[in-house]
Structure 1
Amino acid sequence: MNVKEFIESTLTSALSPALLNVEDESFMHNVPDGAQSHFKVTVVTDAFEGKRLIARHREINTLVDEALKGPVHALALHTYTPTEWVARGGEALTSPACLGGSKS
C-alpha cells in the first residue's frame, strides 16, 4: 500500500469522514521523484465536533504515526466539522509554494 492509500484508509476507518481528500504534494518540493514525503489532508467529520484545532491535528498525527516515522516529512492538515466546512464554502486552503528549494 502506498502512503496516500495508507492515510486514506486509516482516516476513513477511524473518523468516518463526510469528506476526505489526501493530496501527495511531494512534486512541489525539492525531493526525488516518487518520494511520497509531503501531503495535504482535508478532513470533514462529525468526530471533530467540540474539539479544538490542536486536538484534531494530534488525533490525525497519532492515527498516521507509522507514515510520519517513515517517508512523510510534512503533513498539512485542514480539519473541519461539517458546519465549518459549509461556512467556508466547501473550499480547502491552497498550499503555498515550497520555499526550501526548487526542482530545476
Structure 2
Amino acid sequence: MSAKDRITARLTEAFHPERLAVLDESHLHAGHQESFDGKGETHLRIRIVAAAFAGLNRLARHRAVNELVQPEFEAGLHALAVEAAAPGEPTRW
C-alpha cells in the first residue's frame, strides 16, 4: 500500500471528509538536493473538507492532520502541505 493510500485511509476514518485529495508533489522538488530525483512519495499535499474542522483555527487543523500522518514522516515523508477547511468555507481548489 502506498503512503497516499495509507494517509487517505487514516484521514477518511478519522474525519469522514466531504472531499479529500492526497496529491504526490515529489516530482516538483527534483533537483532541490543533489541526490533527490523526485521519485518516491516524499512531498505530499492534503486537501480536505470535513465537518470536524468547524470551529478550529488553521493551526489546530494542521496539528490534527499531522498527528495522523506522523507515521509517514517516520517512514520517509519529507514535506506535507495541508489545506483543510470546514464545509461551506471557501477553498482555492
Q: What TM-score does the superposition give when structure 2 sets the normalisation length?
A: 0.88
Q: Deviations over 1:44-87 (max 9, x none)?
A: 00000111110110001001110011211000000001111xx3
Structure 1 residues 22-31 or 32-41, which shifts more?
32-41
Q: Which runs of 5+ in 2 are unaligned?
A: 31-35
Counterpart residue number, 2:72: 67
2:54 to 43, 46, 49: 49
Contact 1:21 1:43 (C-alpha < 8 Å) held by counterparts: yes
Counterpart residue number, 1:8: 8
Contact 2:29 2:38 (C-alpha < 8 Å) held by counterparts: no
- Report how many residues are paired: 88
Letter in 2 for 1:48: F
Distance 2:13 2:56 in 1: 19
Counterpart residue number, 1:82: 87
Letter in 2 for 1:78: E
Distance 2:25 2:9 in 1: 18
* Cα displacement (A) at 1:35: 1.8
Distance 2:75 2:37 in 1: 15
Distance 1:70 1:53 in 2: 26
Q: Does 1:29 align with 2:29?
A: yes
